[in-house]
């Protein structure tokens, strides 16, 4: 089972952590997919986009992919063409859309965040460092 792939920048870290998000046909974001263990109680959950192919009764079929960020920003919706995807592995069949999402996040969102960021004066940085020590 794939872990959800995320992206960060050195400058912004987890405050701007990007990933590929899934939208269902009704426009909602699905709950994390749960895969029970066959040997008893428990299981594993994931929000990795490629598991939302509808092949398991517990996972809905994604309608679209989009880049998302931990700050709440969401990118362009890239609809999935299930007639073209057919029975192919979703990760392979929609890999180009996933790359579009990542590119939009890196080149678009992080550039916008960087332009709007304000550098903290060194005096304040030094004071914050002293307080944390």
Confidence of residue 115 (pLDDT cuts 50, 70, 90): confident
Dmax over Cα atoms in the chain, in whole Å?
A: 60
Confidence of residue 2 (pLDDT cuts 50, 70, 90): low
**d(C-alpha 7, C-alpha 17), whole Å:** 6
Tens of pLDDT, residues 70-79: 999 999 999 9
Q: pTM of the prediction?
A: 0.79
**d(C-alpha 126, C-alpha 5), whole Å:** 35
Strand, helix or coil for residue 67: strand
Tens of pLDDT, residues 56-89: 777 899 999 999 999 999 999 999 999 999 999 9
**d(C-alpha 105, C-alpha 7), whole Å:** 9
**d(C-alpha 112, C-alpha 95), whole Å:** 25
* Averaged pLDDT for residues 1-30: 86
Helix or strand (DSSP H, E) at 126: helix 122-132
Confidence of residue 35 (pLDDT cuts 50, 70, 90): confident
């Amino acid at each position: 089972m794939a872990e959800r792939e995320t992206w960060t920048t050195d400058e912004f870290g987890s405050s701007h952590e990007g990933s590929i998000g899934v939208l269902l046909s009704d426009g909602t974001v699905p709950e994390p997919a749960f895969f029970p263990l066959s040997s008893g109680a428990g299981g594993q959950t994931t929000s990795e986009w490629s598991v939302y192919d509808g092949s398991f009764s517990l996972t809905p079929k994604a309608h679209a992919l989009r880049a998302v960020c931990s700050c709440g920003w969401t990118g362009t919706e890239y609809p999935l063409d299930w007639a073209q995807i057919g029975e192919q592995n979703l990760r392979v069949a929609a890999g180009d859309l996933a790359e579009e999402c990542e590119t939009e996040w890196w080149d678009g969102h992080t550039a916008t965040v960087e332009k709007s960021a304000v550098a903290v004066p060194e005096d304040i940085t030094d004071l914050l460092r002293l307080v944390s020590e």
